[in-house]
Structure 1
C-alpha cells in the first residue's frame, strides 16, 4: 500500500465528515483512526473505492465516539442515520480545508502543524520529529489549533495568501527526520494548484520547484553549505527547472503580479544562468524593485543589496545595505561579503566571524566560520 497515495485522500475524507456536521477535532481523530484501520486491512483486502471506504469507516468511528459521550446525546439524534456505503461525490474540498487550517485565529506555527496533520496526513510524531520538538509538545500544539477552529464555518472567500505563507513556511523547513518537508510542501502546493486557479499559487509552486531543483548541489559531501556561486550546476535538476519556468511564465502572462511570482522570477534568472558570472544581475535588481513595491520587506531590501553589489559593484551594494536595519538576521554576513568584494579583507574576516556567532543554525555558522578563516589565511600569506 502506497502511504503517499493514502495521504492524498485525507483532505477529502476529513472535509466530508466536517460538512456532515462533525466538529473538526473529532472528525480529524476519526480520519486518523480510519487510516490506521486501512493500513491493517487494505494489504489483504484492497477496496475498489478507497476514498469511499475511508469515509465510511471514519464516519462510523465518529458516530461511535458521539454515542459514547453523554454530552452529545442530543447531537447524536441528528447524526444517527449512517449514510449508506457507496461512491463519494467528487467534490474537491481541498481549498476549503486549507482555509480552515490557516484560519487567522491560529499562530503561524499552529497553522503549519495543523496543515501537515489534517491536509498532509502526517502523524503527530512525524511532525514533531520534523520540527525537532517533543511529540507531547506538538500534540498540545495541534490540539490547541483544533480547538481554535472548532465550529468555524466559511460563508465567504478566505485568505489564500495566508495559505501560501503557511506552505512556504513548511517548504523552508527543508528536511529533518523521516519527513521531507520541502517535498511535502511541493506536494501540498500541487494539490492546492489543482483546486484553485490563482496566479500566486502557481507562482509559489514555481518558486518551490526552482529552489528544490538546486537541492543536490547545496551541500558538500562533508556537510558544508555550498553558496550559489560555487554550486555544481550540472547537479541541478533541469526537469524541475523547466517545469518551474513553464508554470511561472503562464502565471506572469495573466498580468496579476504577486510576491511569489516575483520571487520565482528571480529564482528563474539564477536557474537560467549557465554560470554565476553570466547571471543577469541587472534584471534581478529590477525584479527586487518590483518585489519591494509589493511587500516593502526588510529581508527583500537585504537581498536586493547583494544584487546591487553584483550588478553595480560593492560600493553601490554597501550604499544599498546602509538603508537596511542592521539588526536584521544575516545583515552582518551580507556586509562581510560586500567588504570582501571591495577588497577590505580584514573587515570582511571580522564581520564573517561576527556573523557566525549570530547564525540561526549550525550549518550556516560553520560556513561563515570557514569564510572568516579563509580570509585570515589569505591575509597572513
Structure 2
C-alpha cells in the first residue's frame, strides 16, 4: 500500500561493499523534495500517482512512494533502508502555497528546527533546511512550475526525535534538520555522524571556542560540566569516532583540546584504537590491567570491568590513572601531529576524576 514501508523498494539503490543484504534509504531532503513536487502538482490540477520522481544531486533520478497528496499538501514516509536512522519511519509533510514574487521561500513547520547559532551551513534565523536539500526541493518544484512559492516542511514528531540528535547542542531549536548531501542514506555509514561532528566543530569555532573538550558521550559531558566551568558549545560529543574527529580538527584553528571520559573508552586510544565501538575495538580491561601490573606488580586485583578495576585499586588508583592519561594524551598528540596542546582527564562512572595528564588551567 502507499502508506506502508515496502520490503524492498525498487527505487532504493542496491547496497554496496559486499553487504547485499542491507538496503539503502532516502534522506529527509529527498523525501521533502518528493512531497514538495507532489503538493505543487495538486495545486496545478494534477493527480500524483503512488510515487513521485525526483532528481538526486549526482544527476540520477528515483521514484519516492507517497503517503498522500491533496490540496497543496503531500506527505512521504522516510525510509532509511536498513540504517538505524532516528528519522526512519517519520512522516515528512510539505505544504506549498503560491507567492506573489520571488523564487522559493522556505519555512519551518511543526517539528522542523530553526538555526540560532553561527557556524552551520544555514545562517541563524533560518529554518534548518540544509543547502543541498534546498536545491533538490527547488529543482523538484521547477520541474512542474516556475511560479514563486512558499514551501513549509513539517515532521509531526520532529521535536521529540530531535532530542536524540546533535541539534540541541548545535543550537538548532524546535525540531529536526532537513539533511542530506547525496540524497541517499547508506546503511551503517558513519558519514552522517561525521557530518554532525563537523557541525559541532564549526559551531564551537564560530562561538569563539579555542579549547574544545572532547567527550565520548553523556557520561563524559556530565563529568566535564561537573568538574570544569564550561560553556555548552565548548563540549563536543565524539561518540566512538575519535579518529574521524581528530582528523577533522586539523581544519580548525583550535589551540588545544581536552579529552575527558571514562577509561573504559579512552584507554582504547592509548592502544591505537581510534574507533572505540565495542564491536570494532578490543576491550579496555586488558589494557588497564597490563598497565596496573607494570606499575604496581603482579598482585593487581583482577576485574571484569574497567570501573571495577579502578575501584579495586583503592588508594593506588591515582598513579595508574595518571599514567594511563599520559599515554592517552601522547597518543592523541601523535594523532594530531603535535599541532595543538593536548590534555586528558579520566573519570569514573560518577564523574569523579581518577587521573589526568597535561595542563588543565585553560579549562579551570
**TM-score (norm: length of structure 1):** 0.29
Q: Which has the higher contact order (CA 8 A, sep 6+)?
A: 2
Give the number of the structure whose residues are more often helix, by fraction.
Answer: 1
- Looking at secondary structure, tell me which structure has more strand per residue: 2
